[in-house]
Chains A and B, each alone.
Chain A
Amino acid sequence: MRKVTGSLLAAVALVALPHMAVAQRRASAGGGGVAKNEIGVDLGAAYSHYGSGCVTSCGSFEAGTPVDIRWGFLASGPLSFEPRFTLSYFTGLGGHNLSFTPDVNVLYRLGTASARRGAYLTGGLGLDWTNVGTSGTPSTSATQLSLNAGIGKRIPMESNAWRLEGFFKYNFANTSKGVPSHFDIGARVGMSFWR
């Protein structure tokens, strides 16, 4: 129950942070352009290494697109919030498989960078929540907490920008559910659009 409560609190924090960013943007008089959101999709690649007692084939490589949906809330200051998430739900054959991965990152602009160009640092908190059920048996849920950090750069391209980001992500173990810890080192390359 404590873990469920902890997960719920983390989820509430993930939802609340972007609203704080919106409030910050509304309160600020300075302009960063008329755009409100930065929306983008990326191609990502990462090396993953599993811990928590893994003894063989502990490393893996994964690449793919789209990585997730990232929806940033622009702010006049150097800090901005960017929720990211994926959702997949399959049901059939008497069972189901649900995966939901909400995450919120803070982006801090470096030097003379603006919201549309230049380098930034980022760090974030995320959850990987899964629920699996098969016919005749009760469904089981597992939540894995993750922390990530990275450095990136926006490169303007007409009215949009290419965005490159290198990152490190640590996924904590959930021993009671048998989910091992693992870390990812990788990069994502994508395009950002503003609205």
Chain B
Amino acid sequence: MRKLFGGMLLASLVVLAAAPAQAQRRATGNSMGGAEHELGVDLGAAYVKPNGVSGGLVILTPVDVRFGFVPRSGNLMWEPRGTLSISTVGGTTTYMITPSINVLYANSPGGHHRGMYLTGGAGLVLSDNGTNSGTQVQLGAGVGWRKPYGSGAWRYEVGFQWTSENTTLGVPSTIAIGGRIGISLWH
């Protein structure tokens, strides 16, 4: 339970970290299209290699929910991402919560609407398998592109992700190399 609360506290920090980006957007006067948020869903594919175990392929959609805070100026953009899964069967509850936050750096003329960007992020994997609970840390980095599609954009990203081990859960550290393809829409 203490681990869960600790994880939730960290998750709150992840969410709060996005607030300065919104404040920055509100404080600035010049416009870059007027959109405030970028919401997207993706299909992801990756080669996943747990430590000490042979690796495998993972294909998944939707990967997560990503909700970016678009700044009116500047090259940096904050993008929280997350998934949530809770199940209760026969009095046993299991869950997995994966809050994370990424920073996107776009130096192209298209800003945060088109062109290339670099990204890096950190997140948590809070899980309970019904017997034990624990938290893992995730770190990731990648490079991506946005290609306009109507009023939205296709978004391609390739990258690398490391997830720490958790001995309580009996989960080894894992590396993943892969990509995600999805659509972004703004409002």
Give residues in A with beta carbon < 8 Å to B: 35-36, 39, 41, 43, 56-57, 60-66, 68-69, 85-93, 157-160, 191, 193-195
Count of residues in B whose CB is under 8 Å from the partner chain: 35
Chain B positions 156-187 with a Cβ under 8 Å from a chain A Cβ: 183, 185-187
Partner among A61, A86, A91, A193 whose Cβ is within 8 Å of the Cβ of B57: A91
B residues less than 8 Å from A87 (CB atoms) = 43, 59-61
Partner among A69, A157, A158 whose Cβ is within 8 Å of the Cβ of B62: A69
Known: A88-B60, A92-B55. A64 touches B187 (CB 8 A): no
**Binary A-proximity of B49-75 (CB < 8 A = 1, otherwise 0):** 000011111111110110000000000
B residues less than 8 Å from A86 (CB atoms) = 61-62
Q: Would you call B183 and A39 a contact (CB within 8 A)?
A: yes
Measured in the bound complex, the distance between the Cα atoms of B46 and A90 in whole Å is: 10
Q: How far is the CB of B52 from chain A (nearest CB, A)?
A: 12
Report if B1 contacts A (CB, 8 A): no
A–B pairs, 27, beta carbons within 8 Å:
A35-B151, A39-B183, A43-B84, A57-B89, A61-B88, A64-B84, A64-B86, A68-B62, A88-B58, A88-B59, A89-B57, A89-B60, A90-B57, A91-B56, A92-B48, A92-B53, A92-B54, A92-B56, A93-B54, A93-B56, A157-B187, A160-B187, A193-B152, A193-B185, A194-B151, A195-B183, A195-B185
B residues less than 8 Å from A89 (CB atoms) = 57-60
Partner among A62, A66, A158 whose Cβ is within 8 Å of the Cβ of B187: A158
Measured in the bound complex, the distance between the Cα atoms of B30 and A192 in whole Å is: 27
Report if B41 contacts A (CB, 8 A): yes
Number of A-B pairs, beta carbon distance below 8 Å = 95
Q: Would you call A92 and B41 a contact (CB within 8 A)?
A: no
Partner among B54, B65, B187 whose Cβ is within 8 Å of the Cβ of A159: B187
Measured in the bound complex, the distance between the Cα atoms of B33 and A159 in whole Å is: 13
Q: Would you call A61 and B87 a contact (CB within 8 A)?
A: yes
A86, A91, A93, A195: most-surrounded residue (chain B CB, <10 A): A195
Of all chain B residues, the one with the shortest Cβ separation from A94 is B54
Of all chain A residues, the one with the shortest Cβ separation from B93 is A61
Of all chain B residues, the one with the shortest Cβ separation from A92 is B56
Measured in the bound complex, the distance between the Cα atoms of B149 and A17 in whole Å is: 23
Q: How far is the CB of A151 from chain B (nearest CB, A)?
A: 24
Q: How far is the CB of A70 from chain B (nearest CB, A)?
A: 9
Report if B29 contacts A (CB, 8 A): no
Q: How far is the CB of B157 from chain A (nearest CB, A)?
A: 17
Of all chain B residues, the one with the shortest Cβ separation from A71 is B183
Name the 7 nearest CB pairs between A and B, nearest first: A92-B56, A57-B90, A193-B185, A89-B59, A66-B62, A64-B85, A60-B89
Of all chain B residues, the one with the shortest Cβ separation from A62 is B87
Known: A41-B62, A63-B86, A193-B187. A92 touches B57 (CB 8 A): yes
Q: Would you call A66 and B83 a contact (CB within 8 A)?
A: yes
B residues less than 8 Å from A41 (CB atoms) = 39, 41, 62, 65
A residues less than 8 Å from B64 (CB atoms) = 66
Report if B150 contacts A (CB, 8 A): yes
Measured in the bound complex, the distance between the Cα atoms of B56 and A152 in whole Å is: 40
Measured in the bound complex, the distance between the Cα atoms of B58 and A91 in whole Å is: 6
Partner among A63, A85, A88, A195 whose Cβ is within 8 Å of the Cβ of B151: A195
A residues less than 8 Å from B91 (CB atoms) = 57
Measured in the bound complex, the distance between the Cα atoms of B43 and A72 in whole Å is: 18
A residues less than 8 Å from B152 (CB atoms) = 39, 193, 195
Q: Would you call B58 and A69 a contact (CB within 8 A)?
A: no
